[in-house]
Amino acid sequence: MTIHFSKYQGTGNDFIIIDNRNNQFPSENVALIEQLCHRRFGIGADGLILLENDKVSDFKMVYFNSDGNQSSMCGNGGRCIVAFAKKLGIIKNQTTFLATDGLHFASFSPEGIVALQMKEVDEVQIFDHHIFLNTGSPHHVQLVENLQNFDVKNQGREIRNSSLYGKAGSNINFVSQENPETFSLRTYERGVEDETLSCGTGATAVAIAMHASGKTTSENIKLNVQGGQLEVSFLKIGENYTTVYLKGPATFVFEGKIEV
């Protein structure tokens, strides 16, 4: 079987994206997806995304972690599949598409930045040493000192697999504040089971968590990730965070064919 694929990255979070409107890709083949994402024996990526037909929107996004399993919403992946859909000619400068957590609106700025509307957040759980919320995927947010030298992989794995989150686990974000409107973060992603250079739902979670906990009053927050910078904006209405947007670049890297 020959698979035609494209490779995209959003602030270093990289994805294999496949046009599956003909439903030819064997999406139930966990081992194949894991192999394609493998950085030594495959194409290499943090995840694999299928673009499929949808009856009520421009297209459907189906996302798989690099372990081969279908997963929850991926913010950077969502921005990348929007760029891919534009390259295919499916959309122009704005779109509505379906993901696992519902419909998403996205648009392009004149500079090529993709702004992706994320799900509303109506619950932020604030604990003594961390914050938990769901931005399409579950996220643990924790302020730490000396973020640059923090052991993200081992500390993240320990919390992800702890009794705090059970078998399903959670993504783990470690954060430091740079100024009133800017935060730096590093993320351990479940399913990848390692630190990634960027996590879109993680950046969204950090922005909302820092606002909810009183670390910032801004509703337009910059997030420094290992692979660049993202921006998250929202409106706080009552206890709800609404009109949530994740903004950043979505870059085509290369395309090719692979025999499997």
Q: Which residues form the catalytic set?
A: 74, 199
Contact of 249 with 10, CB cutoff 8 Å: yes
Map residue 176 onto helix, strand or coil. strand
Residues across the chain: 260
Phi/psi zone of residue 146: left (φ > 0), alpha (ψ -120 to 50 degrees), beta? Answer: left
Helix, strand, coil percent values for the chain (each to nearest 5) = 20, 45, 40
Tokens, residue 141: 């947010």
Contact of 32 with 259, CB cutoff 8 Å: no
Annotated binding-site residues for substrate read: 13, 65, 75-76, 171, 189-190, 200-201
Q: CA-CA-CA-CA torsion for 9, 119, 87, 10, nearest 10 degrees?
A: -10
Contact of 175 with 142, CB cutoff 8 Å: yes
Distance of CA 4 to the CA centre of its chain: 23
Rounded to the nearest 5°, which phi and psi values hold at 148? -60, -35
Contact of 167 with 159, CB cutoff 8 Å: no
